[in-house]
């Protein structure tokens, strides 16, 4: 489709998709006029006659920019704007009015509107304002992406041999175009591995795009991956590029691939075999140059055996298999990771750094970490918030954990997994029992040996349900 598109200052390499603009005006003629002007520029336009319809549309799909009339039948535009800005998903808004008063314009700006244009609307004026609004929207979302990337493209830390081996494998596989299947439990850093592969690849200047196959309803996943043409299905009001096309020249991470439904698996297989795709409802093939990474925490062997995952697709995806190790299999990295995250969170919130005592570290190292590195990271953030002192002791860990339901603290527990709170309680119980034994049941002596005052020991005995020595 030829476009007389206004220059939106897009850098090359940024995927070019159609921005979606919502026009809210009660006059059918104005809706038609504005929609026409904007569609001619290649934008996707939806319209609404009142704020209720606008609200419904905003709730059903992302809007990049909204043109909002001041006078609407069900609610005035300014109150609607105020409500929108109170939420956190408000798109940039340009107000329109037939009887623009300075007071309205000032109030609209105070409420966060980007611009205020008067009717009759001139196309040139409208398009400049729209271009500015979309630029802002894009800057905001690039900013958010950068923040995520900063948080996630942090290096893979850990000096253990398990992590050194993983880094070596990444360095070997990255510069090729091989598809890579990354497996590992929750929170082991699979996404970080995929980003590290992309960063070290020849595609690093091109986009890295991620799709979570488990989070998207299966009936929408195909259009999310491969895009769709206008009218492909009810609600497909315009052409939409899929994640594959947005990753053109770069890499695509198919996260939670084990949850992909069979129909999409079949379509994905064809795309991987032919390096081309057809958008849903489309008829001409589009050449695709995208390196695919897939990741899963599910047991694909079992899924394949049960027929839940296609054998042929598995072999296509698993040219190079990488496994992110469970944290309990590289416990020696716990002190380094803990110190790193603790420093990261303290510095990030402008607080002085904290250190963990040897005893505290020993406890953390003994723990099973069912939620892996993510669980450790979350615990360090909690410590940053809850422990005021700069030295964090094993007692601090105990205090921090007793206030919580142990399951929340340690994430989902599986198999022989114990929560950190349970582990700490057991350790504490063992130490106290041994001291009381050695003191032949004399609590004053046991307390002295443990470095506690008597009242403190009594409290602990009660909490741990221990007999008072006999
Ligand atoms: N080796 C590591 N060094 C530094 N940070 C790590 C490491 N492993 C994981 N992380 C951090 O832990 C968090 C979880 O990592 P990530 O999201 O990559 O895990 P995942 O395996 O994809 O998890 P899930 O299966 O839940 O999707 C992230 O914040 C990541 O930065
Ligand atoms: Mg992940």
Q: Cα–Cα distance between 360 and 379 in angstroms, integer?
A: 13
Q: Are residues 365 and 302 in the same domain?
A: no
Residue span of the structural domain in which 41 resides = 20-149
What CA–CA distances, in Å, run from 255 to 43, 98, 261, 289, 382? 30, 49, 13, 19, 27
152 ligand 1 Cβ < 6 A? yes
Q: Where are the alpha helices (DSSP H) in 311-419?
A: 311-317, 334-348, 358-366, 372-386, 394-402, 406-410
CATH number at residue 344: 1.10.8.60
CATH number at residue 39: 3.40.50.2300
Residue 299 has which token pair? 């047991």
Task: Report the side by side order of strands in the sheet with 251-255.
Answer: 208-212, 251-255, 291-296, 180-183, 320-323
Q: What digits encode the pLDDT tens for the residues 101-122?
A: 777 778 888 888 888 898 888 9
Q: Are residues 312 and 238 in the same domain?
A: yes
2 occurs within a structural domain: no
What is the pLDDT, as a whole number, of residue 446?
A: 87
92 ligand 1 Cβ < 6 A? no
Q: Cα–Cα distance between 342 and 34 in angstroms, integer?
A: 53
9 occurs within a structural domain: no
Domain end residue (candidates: 325, 343, 375): 325
Task: State the total domains in the chain.
Answer: 3
Cα(144) to ligand 2 centroid in Å equals 18
157 ligand 1 Cβ < 6 A? yes
Cα(219) to ligand 2 centroid in Å equals 22
Q: What digits encode the pLDDT tens for the residues 339-381?
A: 999 998 998 888 889 999 998 998 898 888 889 999 999 999 9
List, in sequence order, every residue forming a beta bridge with 68; answer none if it has no partner: 24, 95
Quick check: 218 and 175 in contact, CB under 8 A?
Answer: no
Atom of ligand 1 nearest to the CA of 185: 25
Q: Are residues 202 and 310 in the same domain?
A: yes
15 occurs within a structural domain: no
Cα(190) to ligand 1 centroid in Å equals 6
Q: CB under 8 Å to 340, separation ≥6 — which residues?
A: 157
Quick check: 166 and 322 in contact, CB under 8 A?
Answer: yes
373 ligand 1 Cβ < 6 A? yes
Cα(266) to ligand 2 centroid in Å equals 23
What is the pLDDT, as a whole number, of residue 146?
A: 67
Cα(200) to ligand 1 centroid in Å equals 18
Q: Are residues 341 and 321 in the same domain?
A: no
Q: Cα–Cα distance between 401 and 375 in angstroms, integer?
A: 13
Q: Are residues 122 and 250 in the same domain?
A: no
238 occurs within a structural domain: yes
187 ligand 1 Cβ < 6 A? yes
What is the pLDDT, as a whole number, of residue 10?
A: 35
230 ligand 1 Cβ < 6 A? no
What is the pLDDT, as a whole number, of residue 3?
A: 38
Q: Are residues 176 and 78 in the same domain?
A: no
Domain end residue (candidates: 277, 310, 325): 325
Quick check: 272 and 255 in contact, CB under 8 A?
Answer: no
4 occurs within a structural domain: no
231 occurs within a structural domain: yes
280 occurs within a structural domain: yes
Q: What is the DSSP string of 435-468?
A: HHHHTTT-HHHHHHHHT--HHHHHHHHHHTT---
Residues in the chain predicted with pLDDT less than 50, given as ranges, are 1-16, 403-417, 469-470
Quick check: 22 and 34 in contact, CB under 8 A?
Answer: no
What is the pLDDT, as a whole number, of residue 439?
A: 87
96 occurs within a structural domain: yes
Q: Are residues 321 and 377 in the same domain?
A: no
Reported residue count of the chain is: 470
What is the pLDDT, as a whole number, of residue 234?
A: 73
Residue whose CA lies nearest to ligand 1 atom number 31: 152
What is the pLDDT, as a whole number, of residue 4?
A: 37
374 ligand 1 Cβ < 6 A? yes
Q: Are residues 319 and 349 in the same domain?
A: no
Q: Are residues 269 and 405 in the same domain?
A: no
Domain end residue (candidates: 260, 292, 325): 325
Q: Cα–Cα distance between 62 and 55 in angstroms, integer?
A: 11
458 ligand 1 Cβ < 6 A? no
**Residue 234 burial (10 A CB sphere; 0-12, 13-18, 19+):** exposed
Do β-strands 180-183 and 291-296 pair in parallel, antiparallel, or remain unpaired?
A: parallel
- Kindly report the pTM of this predicted structure: 0.64
Cα(186) to ligand 2 centroid in Å equals 7
């Amino acid at each position: 489709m030829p476009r007389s598109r206004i220059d939106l200052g897009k850098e090359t390499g940024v995927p070019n998709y159609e921005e979606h603009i919502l026009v809210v005006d009660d006059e059918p003629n104005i809706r038609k006029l504005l929609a026409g002007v904007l569609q001619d520029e290649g934008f996707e336009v939806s319209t609404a006659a009142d704020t209720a319809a606008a609200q419904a549309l905003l709730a059903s799909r992302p809007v990049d920019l909204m043109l909002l009339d001041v006078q609407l039948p069900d609610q005035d535009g300014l109150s609607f704007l105020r409500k929108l800005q109170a939420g956190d998903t408000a798109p940039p808004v340009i107000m329109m009015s037939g009887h623009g008063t300075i007071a309205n314009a000032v109030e609209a700006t105070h409420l966060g509107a980007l611009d205020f244009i008067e009717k009759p609307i001139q196309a040139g004026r409208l398009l400049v304002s729209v271009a500015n609004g979309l630029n802002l929207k894009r800057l905001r979302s690039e900013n958010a992406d950068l923040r995520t990337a900063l948080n996630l493209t942090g290096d893979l830390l850990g000096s253990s041999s398990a992590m050194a081996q993983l880094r070596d494998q990444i360095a070997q596989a990255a510069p090729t175009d091989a598809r890579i299947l990354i497996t590992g439990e929750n929170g082991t850093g699979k996404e970080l591995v995929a980003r590290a592969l992309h960063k070290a690849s020849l595609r690093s200047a091109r986009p890295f795009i991620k799709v979570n196959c488990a989070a998207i309803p299966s009936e929408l996943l195909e259009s999310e991956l491969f895009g769709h043409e206008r009218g492909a299905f009810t609600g497909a009001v315009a052409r939409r590029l899929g994640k594959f096309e947005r990753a053109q020249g770069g890499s695509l991470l198919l996260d939670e691939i084990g949850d992909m439904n069979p129909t999409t698996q079949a379509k994905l297989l064809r795309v991987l075999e032919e390096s081309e795709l057809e958008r849903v409802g489309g008829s001409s093939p589009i050449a695709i140059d995208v390196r695919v990474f897939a990741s899963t925490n599910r047991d694909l062997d079992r899924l394949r055996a049960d027929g839940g995952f296609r054998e042929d697709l598995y072999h296509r995806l698993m040219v190079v298999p990488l496994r992110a190790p469970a944290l309990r299999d590289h416990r020696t990295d716990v002190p380094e990771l803990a110190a790193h995250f603790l420093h990261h969170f303290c510095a990030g919130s402008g607080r002085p750094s904290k250190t963990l005592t040897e005893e505290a570290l020993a406890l953390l190292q003994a723990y099973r970490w069912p939620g892996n590195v993510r669980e450790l990271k979350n615990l360090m953030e909690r410590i940053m918030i809850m422990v005021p002192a700069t030295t964090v002791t094993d007692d601090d860990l105990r205090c921090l954990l007793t206030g919580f339901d142990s399951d929340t603290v340690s994430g989902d527990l599986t198999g022989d997994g114990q929560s950190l709170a349970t582990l700490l309680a057991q350790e504490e119980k063992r130490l106290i029992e041994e001291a009381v034994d050695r003191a032949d049941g004399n609590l004053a002596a046991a307390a002295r040996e443990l470095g506690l005052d008597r009242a403190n020991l009594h409290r602990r005995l009660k909490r741990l349900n221990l007999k008072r020595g006999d």
